[in-house]
Amino acid sequence: MLKTFFLGGIHPAENKLSAQKKVETLDLPKQVIIPLGQHIGAPAQAVVKKGDKVKAGTLIAQASGFVSANIHSSVSGTVAKVDVIADSAGNLKPAVVIDVEGDEWEEAIDRSADLKKEITLDSKAIVDKVKECGIVGLGGATFPTHIKLMPPPNTKAEVIIINAVECEPYLTSDHQLMLEKADEILVGVKILMKSVNVNKAIIGIENNKPDAIKLMTEKAKDYPEITIQPLKVKYPQGGEKQLIDACISRQVASGALPISTGAVVQNVGTAFAVYEAVQKNKPLFERVVTVTGKAVAKPSNFLARVGTPMSVLIEAAGGIPEDTGKIISGGPMMGKAMPTVNTVVVKGCSGILLMKDFESRRKEMTDCIRCSKCVNVCPMGLTPSYLMRVCELSMWDKAETDRVMDCIECGSCSFTCPANRTLLDYIRLGKGKVGGIIRARAASTATK
Amino acid sequence: MDKKLIVSLSPHIHSGNTVKGAMYGVLIALIPALLTSLFFFGLGAFIVIVTAVLSCVLFEFLIQKFLLKQKTTICDGSAVLTGLLLAFNLPSNLPIWIIIIGSLVAIGIGKMSFGGLGNNIFNPALVGRVFLLISFPTAMTSWPLPGQWSSYLDATTGATPLALIAAGQEAGYSPMDMFFGSMNGSLGEVSAIALLLGFAYMLIRKIITWHIPVAIFVVAALMSLICGLNPIEQLFSGGLMLGAIFMATDYVSSPMNKRGMIIYGAFIGALTILIRKFGAYPEGMSFAILIMNAFTPLINTYVKPKRFGEVVKNG
């Protein structure tokens, strides 16, 4: 029996159109726009100004505050401006705009393709290196990686779990990365293990990627402490809590940190970025991005520099099809719909999905028939229909006692609802409101 | 690109599940029972079913169009389903005018007065059925014997197995007859095998889960043993199969999580046998389901689904 998580889950059509497509290196754009808030937490502070010359890998913004990450230039050229620019949600956010001139990298970066296996740095130096290179979680959440590698006191890391599940339909960037960079990923996993002093790692891969499972299992024979764990195909297995449950049968209690189970979860792309940072001294400024969609002429996986406009990637994949209705950054279950094609690739962007017009429209919502499909698919054991009702009625106390904050926003409820109810929209609203109420309560008890 | 892009929150894809699909799924599951009812009760069954379905759809249409002045939803299949289930709960020699009254009560009072599909507290078909049972006790409890193909109002009637058992006599039918449905009773309830086929279909299509019917079967069998009744006869006679598989599992009026469903089903099973044993009516299934329908909001409030992280397996 293949392992999986035990509660809820759905199985959307996989549509992995760009599977087995080799990663192509994208030509450099004329200009890049590098947002300074590409991670969860405070935006970085710019350390360059207009007219400065930068190379690929030059630090252009310094982390500010505990939860934050450094940002590096992804190209060589001249800083055109440091300004506020509309981000993917349409909000004005600080960004650095660089005009591209040539492709010169910082001298310290090792650009050779040689595999460097030997890990010379010690645990603390690894964490510092990861922090310096601005590594964040590449699965989409973009949580700064160095913080995850410093477990809080009274917790102890026991195992590294590598998220190579890629449970979102359409996306293939992690899959292709594994096929092409298996050795580097395994060294990256070893580095992660050393950084938190554990001697066990599990790489969870869903069973719809048999070639990746075979290759990684083959390569991992040199690393007896790394296990490749095939998993049953089920969404949202790539959720941190679901993956821990699937791999080591431990459940993160409500409100607790995942580290309370002894597991440190990192995305497979992050493991590769950590390898490049620690062994090759290369900051995170490029990543694999899937460009896909049913009407896309040439679904592809590209290696793109951070700050490249999405329009450049879409052009390389054959241009925008005539009847495109929606452009999504990320996968179809949790990705964000983009207001324009001028938004740029950021560290957390795993894919660009173009949906046809008729696929993009929601169907008319009707009354709840209490069929309990949403309850059965919820991986957190919530009652989405009830939560939507109380959030509609602004009954925040009820939303809190019915555990609205446990929701991981996977969207399984809205996906499955036969009445097309906008369950997750209202639950998100409730999470925002209840989160505010909880913070206000904590603040008022603190001042008393 | 000049065209405006659509921006909405995730998820951006949908399973394609529809209310209509679920309703038609249940209707398909009812086909075996429909065929057996026609096989055993012939013309009478045909007239009762057609009258009930047509009048339910018509009343829903009229109420939505002229009373509530809203968009009509008769195409979603729920009114057809209510009509069919109501017909399945009636004897095959019931006069047309009584069926029409039953349909009006089922749709008008049972469903539309609460706000239509999704908002009703009680199973509409059962509301109609119980209304008729109380209003027309004689007509509703004279059951034509099976195999009278061409008779309707003139069909020869006889006591049902349950009535005989309640009167302290033998059931009068072999377990095989009861399993295949060659006995007298309401249209759709006689053939256990046809109903179980429908149950299997609904489980495979994931229209319902096993929790409510299985809880009813298990507890009804246990309760029969406690009351000194034959569990096989109790399970295969009367409306227990039809009620457990198709009426108690009605989405709208049953609890929304598995724990709640098991509690709900267990009480229905127990209440049914208690009413059969001690009540004034020989059959208690519809009353038991309606009583538990009333408890559904309470069950939903106090019984919550199993939570992620509830079973702490750490260490």
Structural element, H or E, at residue A351: strand A351-356
The alpha-carbon gap from B203 to the nearest alpha carbon of chain A, in Å, equals 13
Residue B315: per-residue pLDDT: 35
For residue B164 the two structure tokens come to 């005989």
pLDDT in tens, A117-134: 999 999 999 999 999 999
pLDDT in tens, A299-316: 999 999 999 999 999 999
Q: From chain A, pick out residues whose CB is under 8 angstroms from the CB of B309.
A: 241, 251-254, 256
**pLDDT level of residue B283 (50, 70, 90 thresholds):** confident
**Residue range(s) occupied by CATH 3.10.20.600 in chain A:** 286-360
Looking only at the bridges linking them, the beta strands covering A300-305 and A226-231 are: unpaired
Q: Do B5 and A340 touch (CB under 8 A)?
A: yes
The alpha-carbon gap from B256 to the nearest alpha carbon of chain A, in Å, equals 5
pLDDT at A236 over 80: yes
Beta-strand runs (E) in chain B: 143-144, 157-158
Beta-strand runs (E) in A276-350: 286-292, 300-305, 324-329, 336-337
C-alpha span between A34 and A24 (Å, rounded): 21
pLDDT in tens, A24-77: 999 999 999 999 988 888 899 999 999 999 999 999 999 988 899 999 999 999
CATH code that applies to domain A286-360: 3.10.20.600
Residue A356: per-residue pLDDT: 93
Closest CA relative to residue A35, chosen from A352, A349, A290, A354:
A349
The alpha-carbon gap from A59 to the nearest alpha carbon of chain B, in Å, equals 34
Angle between helix A210-219 and helix A182-195 axes, rounded to 10 deg:
60
**pLDDT level of residue B166 (50, 70, 90 thresholds):** confident
CA distances from B81 to B20, B25, B28, B167, B202 (A): 11, 10, 10, 34, 14
Question: Torsion-angle region of residue A90: left (phi > 0), alpha (psi -120 to 50) or beta?
Answer: left
Mutate to test the interface with A, among B2, B3, B14 (most CBs of A within 10 A): B14
pLDDT in tens, B47-70: 999 999 999 999 999 999 999 888
**pLDDT level of residue A90 (50, 70, 90 thresholds):** confident
**pLDDT level of residue B182 (50, 70, 90 thresholds):** confident
Q: Do A337 and B6 touch (CB under 8 A)?
A: yes
**pLDDT level of residue A432 (50, 70, 90 thresholds):** very high
Q: What is the mean pLDDT of residues B77-84?
A: 95
Structural element, H or E, at residue A31: strand A31-35
Q: What is the mean pLDDT of residues B124-152?
A: 88
Q: What is the mean pLDDT of residues B93-106?
A: 96
A123-280: CATH homologous superfamily?
A: NADH-ubiquinone oxidoreductase 51kDa subunit (3.40.50.11540)
pLDDT at B193 over 80: yes
pLDDT at B313 over 70: no
Ramachandran angles phi, psi of A439, nearest 5°: -65, -40
Closest CA relative to residue B289, chosen from B142, B129, B54, B99:
B129
Q: Is the peptide bond preceding residue B146 cis, with omega within 30 degrees of 0? A: no
**pLDDT level of residue B2 (50, 70, 90 thresholds):** low
Q: Do B254 and A249 touch (CB under 8 A)?
A: no
Q: What is the mean pLDDT of residues B273-287?
A: 89
Q: Do B11 and A403 touch (CB under 8 A)?
A: no
Domain range A29-99, CATH architecture: Beta Barrel (2.40)
The alpha-carbon gap from A267 to the nearest alpha carbon of chain B, in Å, equals 21
- Option in B19, B307, B311 nearest A418 (CB): B19
Q: Do B305 and A381 touch (CB under 8 A)?
A: yes
The alpha-carbon gap from A44 to the nearest alpha carbon of chain B, in Å, equals 27
Residue A66: per-residue pLDDT: 87
Residue B311: per-residue pLDDT: 53
Residue of B nearest to A260 (CA): B314
Looking at this predicted complex, what is its ipTM? 0.88
Q: A73 and A58 in contact (C-beta within 8 Å)?
A: yes
CATH code that applies to domain B19-302: 1.10.3430
Closest CA relative to residue B266, chosen from B195, B214, B225, B302:
B214
Residue ranges of domains in chain B: 19-302
pLDDT at B82 over 60: yes
Q: From chain B, pick out residues whose CB is under 8 angstroms from the CB of A382.
A: 305, 307
Q: From chain B, pick out residues whose CB is under 8 angstroms from the CB of A339.
A: 5, 7
pTM, rounded to two decimals: 0.91
Q: Do A327 and B21 touch (CB under 8 A)?
A: no
Residue A233: per-residue pLDDT: 95
Residue B149: per-residue pLDDT: 77
pLDDT in tens, A333-379: 999 999 888 889 999 999 999 999 998 999 999 999 999 999 999 99
For residue A116 the two structure tokens come to 């460097």
What average pLDDT is seen over chain A?
93
Residue of B nearest to A262 (CA): B314
pLDDT at B298 over 90: yes
**Residue range(s) occupied by CATH 3.40.50.11540 in chain A:** 123-280
What average pLDDT is seen over chain B?
90
Q: What is the mean pLDDT of residues A197-223?
A: 94
Q: What is the mean pLDDT of residues A238-253?
A: 93
pLDDT at B1 over 70: no
pLDDT in tens, A370-410: 999 999 999 999 999 999 999 999 999 999 999 999 999 99
Q: Do B11 and A333 touch (CB under 8 A)?
A: yes
**pLDDT level of residue B312 (50, 70, 90 thresholds):** very low
